[in-house]
A and B are shown apart, each in its own frame.
Chain A
Amino acid sequence: MAKKLMKLIALFVIISLTGCWDKKELDEIAILSGVGIDQTEDEKLSLTMQVVLHRDMKIQAQSGLRGEDRPTQNIIVEGDSLIDANRNFSLQSGRKGFWSHVGTFVIGEELAKAGIGDIIDVLERDHEIRRRTYLLVTRSKARDIMDANVINLEAIQSYNFNDMVETYRTNAKTISIDLQKYITMMSEKNASAFMTGINFINDPEKTTKCNALELRDTGIFKNHKLIGWFDVMQTRGLLWTRGEVEECIVKVEYPYAESCVFIEIYRAGSKIKPVIEDNKIKIVVELSAQGKVAQSNPKTDLTKAETIEKLNEASAKTIKEEALKAIKKGQELRADVFGFGDSVYRKYPETWESIKDNWDDVFRTITIEVNTKVTLKRTGLITNCLKD
């Protein structure tokens, strides 16, 4: 009897482990690789959903072809909300959208200006979407971005966006923001955040048939609304201030304006220190960077120790200027994306209580001091370049 009961229980457990109510067969779902979100004129949402055609993927893998045909198709659906539009997707395709493999969400400017709070709420709430999904914002329509040509290193177009975002480390001209980072920034004291920008390359001369997009500019959000853009150098300044630069190339004018030395920075950090002086808050940003010489000019004598010292100072000045430019722009936009407010809260919680309600005004007029220290460690395989 006991043995029979045991067998019965074992059978029951095996059946219950398969999760038969929630099964998702491959031929009943449409795997999405990226979603572009726009706002239509009548304030509805328009989703450009990139569906992976796994049959085509297989054919491509077998034949080794990487032709003009993409193994993805874009479907445009409209709806009152993200969830609603997702359900409308099945009206067109006969499948349910499967969101777990979405690599990037691209948000159009109109929608971003109107506010993306509702969308972020859905993305955070739904269990299919992961917090590591990248967020991109574009000056044009998200739909055009999803349709645009990118180099076919990845078979799936929007996975190229992932690659682009993930290599931000090598140049520090853009930034990688995923859902988690965005939400964390938004839930901080000053409710401002930034988002990677993806835009069309403006100059048609520079584009070829196969690539039309680049990561450029950074969207600045406040209370889930896009309020402005940082250009490439302001983005770098933002990264300097937040201590998120990992590697980058800095152009230093040395010994005079026309001749340049290029410094490769490979380690950088920042410390934001709020200081109270005569009842006024001052923010001191301490930047530090290490690097080496990547390109020199004949006027520069790298065999001398004092030249290295001078180069240190010159590059420190350049970096400081970059950081200050970004801070100035941030003050113009009244968006404290640098985390100054939080640093005040962390160090002087009592002071923060008194200024938190008008922090935006305080931030606009606050004194910000940037101290930069650059140490060049080496000059590469050669010292001086060939004299001309």
Chain B
Amino acid sequence: MLEKGKISYKHLISIIFMIVSPTAILYLPSMTYREAKQDSFIPIIMITIVTLFFAQVVISLGHMYQNKTIIQYSQDILGKALGKITGLIFCLFLVHVNSVIIREFAELLAGPFMKLTPLWFFVIGIILPSIYAVIKGLEVIDRVNQIIFPIYIIFLSAIVLLSYKDMDFRNTMPVFTQDITSIMNGFYRTFIWFGEVALLSMIMPYVNMPKKVKKMTFISIIYLVLLGAIVNIAIITTFGKNTQNLSYPFLSLARYISVANFFERLDSIIMFMWISGVFIKITIFHYCATLAIAQWLELKDYRITAVVTGIVMAVLSITLWSNLTQLKNQLITLTLPYTIIQMGIPVVLFIVAKIKKGLGYG
């Protein structure tokens, strides 16, 4: 086995939280608002149910094939050739999605903060520590997350609480007035983020108590959605119809905070929160991609893979998109293929595995 470390099941809450939330908080609110307007909490409630079902599928698969990741058990389920193809698609997906995340990270630093600094500088700046962390293994990433996660949550809640006095709750009215297509569009936008729960299929074999995974995952998803809804409401009530024009609504929210005329200009807090949060996210994705590729190639050692995938992700993240608008538009067009891969593959695997079991092959 490539990974020797085990992570505590309790830490799974924070890991799943960090897999989804850092980029979702920054980019999702304006995307859902553009479609569903003040009803954008409805897509979030809808995605909760979908995510819970999906997590259940991933966890059942993990229980059926204990100590195996999706790359390994896809070969058990679909046979060698088909399984290898599925595994390869999943590997490529992980590399691509991580280059999206790295680009999103670099864009936030380059856009509102440091416009003169070249993009590659941020990309290299995040990928080097990421490579280092991946080489050290999952357990190290988990322990770093144990330090970063509380700070992340405290800052996040602080920003929402401090902006309370600027909120105008009339902006959430009238509810249930948007037509069904715009709500479904908003719902569609959320898939790309919440589908990332699929990474659980890579991490689950290394949790020390597999029986507890389900409970922890469900708690985490509930927290995630609650927080997502709160952030969404905070943004909508503060900015109203202006939300859809903001590139980074949460950043604007933090910048607008002013308590007693001296506690203001909280951009640096956002910067800190965002960099540390996204670092964890990028590292987990990088780790999963590395592990997936190493398992797919059936290597004994994944250190070289870590470096190679790191370099590939860095190059892709710079070269694939020329500007932020293109990236944001592609996030919408990519939703379908992404959803097919990250949510479709596990579901298909689950159904096939169940049928096989029913027929007596399992």
- Residues of A at the B interface (CB closer than 8 Å) are 5-6, 9, 12-13, 16, 19, 21-22, 100, 124, 127, 130-132, 166, 180, 183-184, 187-188, 342, 345-347, 349
Contact = CB atoms under 8 A, between A and B. Distances in A.
16 contacts: A9-B129, A12-B128, A16-B124, A124-B245, A127-B112, A130-B256, A131-B255, A131-B256, A166-B261, A184-B239, A184-B240, A187-B240, A187-B241, A187-B242, A188-B240, A349-B177
Interface string B127-157: 0110010000000000000000000000000
Contacts of B121: 16, 21
Contacts of B239: 180, 184
Interface in B87-128: 111-118, 121, 124-125, 128
B170 interface: yes
Nearest to A186: B242
A6 B125 contact: no
Given A131-B252, A346-B170, A349-B177, A16 B125 contact: yes
A208 B174 CA distance: 52
B264 interface: yes
Contacts of A13: 125, 128-129
B117 A127 contact: no
Interface of B: 111-118, 121, 124-125, 128-129, 132, 166, 168, 170, 173-174, 177, 239-242, 245, 252, 255-256, 258, 261, 264-265
A183 B242 CA distance: 7
Given A16-B121, A184-B242, A187-B240, A132 B115 contact: no
Nearest to A162: B261
Prevailing SS type, chain B contact patch: helix
A74 to B, nearest CB: 25
A342 B116 contact: no
Given A180-B239, A188-B241, A347-B174, 6 more contacts: A19-B114, A184-B239, A187-B240, A346-B170, A346-B173, A349-B174
B256 A180 contact: yes
A180 B115 CA distance: 24
Contacts of A19: 113-114, 117
Which 10 A-B residue pairs are closest in the complex by CB-CB distance? A21-B117, A346-B173, A22-B114, A127-B112, A21-B116, A187-B241, A16-B125, A349-B177, A187-B242, A349-B174
Nearest to A181: B166
Nearest to A352: B174
Contacts of A342: 170
A130 B255 contact: yes
Nearest to B109: A19
Contacts of A187: 240-242, 245
A132 B111 CA distance: 20
A270 B125 CA distance: 53
A88 B168 CA distance: 40
Contact of A6 (B114, B132, B245, B252): B132
**A interface, by DSSP: helix, strand, loop or mixed?**
helix
Contacts of B265: 100, 130
A349 B112 CA distance: 37
A13 B129 CA distance: 8
B174 A12 contact: no
A347 B170 CA distance: 11
B256 A127 contact: no
A16 B122 CA distance: 8
Contact of A22 (B116, B124, B261, B264): B116
B118 A346 contact: no
B190 to A, nearest CB: 24
A37 B252 CA distance: 24
Nearest to B115: A22
A131 B238 CA distance: 12
A346 B38 CA distance: 11
A183 B239 CA distance: 9
B164 to A, nearest CB: 15
Contacts of B124: 12, 16
A132 B174 contact: no
Contacts of A188: 240-241
Nearest to A124: B245
Contact of B114 (A21, A130, A132, A346): A21
Contacts of A183: 242
A132 B242 contact: no
A246 B279 CA distance: 45
Contacts of B125: 12-13, 16
A132 B174 CA distance: 28
A184 B173 CA distance: 15
Nearest to B265: A130
Contacts of A349: 174, 177
Contacts of B245: 124, 187
Contact of A346 (B132, B174, B261): B174
A27 B129 CA distance: 35
Contacts of B255: 130-131
Nearest to A185: B240
A347 B252 CA distance: 29
A103 to B, nearest CB: 11
Nearest to A15: B125
A345 B240 CA distance: 14
